[in-house]
Amino acid sequence: MNTSIVEVSKGRQITLPKTVRNKLHLIPGSKLEVIERDHELVLKPLGDDLKHLFERAHSMRPRRKLTPEQMDQVNEGLFT
């Protein structure tokens, strides 16, 4: 595990070290999940997984015609 020290700027931003950005293939616009736990921050790259998920979902054809309200109910059931 590599560690680095970064400084929070006046604008409350941090700059990730170049070695980290390169290793994780982070580019401008890359998304990171920020997880707070036990006085720690964990930054988790979302990568292209989310993009691929949306592309796959867009190409899928539903087996049944659901109303937007029914789709919301299904989605809520998945995440609770």
Residue 25 makes CB contacts below 8 A (sequence gap 6+) with 47
For residues 45 and 26, is the Cβ–Cβ distance under 8 A? Answer: yes
Question: What tens digit of pLDDT does each residue of 34-53 get?
Answer: 999 999 999 988 866 666 66
List the chain domain ranges. 1-62
Is pLDDT of 16 > 90? yes
Q: What is the pTM of this model?
A: 0.54
The Cα diameter of the chain in Å comes to 52
Class of the domain covering 1-62: mainly beta
User: Average per-residue pLDDT in the chain?
Assistant: 82
Is pLDDT of 3 > 90? no
Look at residue 12 in the predicted model and tell me its pLDDT: 94
Question: What tens digit of pLDDT does each residue of 51-73 get?
Answer: 666 666 666 666 777 788 887 77
Alpha carbon 46 to its chain centroid, in Å, reads: 4
For residues 45 and 29, is the Cβ–Cβ distance under 8 A? Answer: no
